[in-house]
A and B are shown apart, each in its own frame.
Chain A
Amino acid sequence: MTFINYASKEINCKIVYYGPGLCGKTTNLQYIYNKTSPDARGKMISLATETDRTLFFDFLPLDLGTIRGFTTRFHLYTVPGQVFYDASRKLILKGVDGVVFVADSQEARAEANVESIRNLGANLAEHGLDLATMPYALQFNKRDLPSLVGVDEMYRVLNFKREPTFEAIATSGEGVFDTLKSVAKQILVELRKR
């Protein structure tokens, strides 16, 4: 739900990074944080366990500049990927404007990706939302590791509406901004329609 504030001349949009445990959601946000100038970003908040697994969410507010005099602000969230945190994942999707699905390219995680996308669809439905009509980008992460599923095969299994899809190595930043830009643009285009 985009929040348009005519009093302070701001547009606030919410983007959620979704995906199975350890796929690299938090790493995406950390890279964005590190590569953004301090005046364009707020504090990054990570509610994590002692072993750095996301417990509730990561949060990063970004200011992208102005459109027609309105400050355009994106609030990036990650969900906890571990299966048993489903209640928290559901909460974080509330009011979402666009979703990035981060898939783990390793063979061993192929099943986990499929399961997580299914879980995303079900949790969006509980908020009355549908991935088919939402701003959405797909990321194949960890392309630097051995034993990977081929890109074509991943596309066949995970892409379902020709959503923009990006190969990425979140640790070195490859593909990270392309993914973010893609979903952010879709959100702004959606705003124009309404």
Chain B
Amino acid sequence: MSPANFVLYEEESKLLFDGLVRLRQDANARAVFLVDKNGQQIANAGDVSQFDITSLASLTAGNVAATDGLAKLIGEREFSVLFHEGEREHIHISIVAKRAILVVIFDDRSSLGLVRLRVKRANLELERIFEKMLQQSGSSAVAEERSQDSPFAEITDEDIDALFRD
């Protein structure tokens, strides 16, 4: 069996982004990120320019993977929330729809209680979007309609070689 693809289309990307923007405002957070469990960033909102987003995504996924491993060792399915408290900056990490990771970075203008509350609500909303995405990726009609503009079916050997010309 070869690995499947995870496809994110513009429409869902917009919905996820809107959800993150709302969460950031409601929670008074500095930035919020949605990261795939494999370590790839899906969407973000807020004050993100000062963060190395790629590193953040990869380390968060590693952190969650290690914590999941710990959970299994003691007979838990998962630890659904992780919280790292710094002197000024704090990170709240939770799982959305079993496959994505929601990261909220906040400082003392907010509080753990507020973040927790808002994350809970946002989780429900994000979960609905993910469910819709999963349903659609299972539906061949949608896949077919959308794959018409898939750029990859026509990748040529030349396209690939061009990437490696230095």
Contacts and interface: CB of A to CB of B under 8 A. Distances in A.
A and B physically associate: yes
Nearest to B147: A194
A61 B54 contact: yes
Nearest to A191: B152
Contacts of A12: 40
A95 B2 CA distance: 10
Q: How large is the interface on B (under 10, 10 to 19, 20 to 34, 35 or more residues)?
A: 35 or more
A4 B7 contact: yes
B42 to A, nearest CB: 8
A56 B1 contact: no
Contacts of A17: none
A68 B154 contact: yes
Contact of A7 (B10, B58, B152): B10
Dominant SS among interface residues on chain A: mixed
Contacts of B3: 1-2, 95-97, 129, 134
A62 to B, nearest CB: 10
Nearest to B155: A192
Given A45-B55, A75-B39, A65 B6 contact: no
A2 B6 CA distance: 6
Contacts of B134: none
B160 A43 contact: no
Q: How large is the interface on A (under 10, 10 to 19, 20 to 34, 35 or more residues)?
A: 35 or more
Contacts of A64: 163-164
Contacts of B153: 192
B8 A133 contact: no
Contacts of A30: none
B13 A3 contact: no
B19 interface: no
Interface of B: 1-10, 13-14, 36-40, 42, 52, 54-55, 58-59, 62, 65-66, 68-69, 151-155, 159-160, 162-164
**Cβ-closest 8 pairs across A and B:** A95-B38, A7-B13, A68-B151, A91-B65, A64-B163, A42-B54, A7-B10, A192-B155
Given A1-B5, A67-B163, A194-B152, 16 more contacts: A2-B3, A3-B8, A4-B5, A5-B13, A8-B13, A42-B54, A57-B62, A67-B159, A75-B58, A92-B62, A94-B38, A96-B3, A130-B1, A133-B1, A185-B160, A185-B164
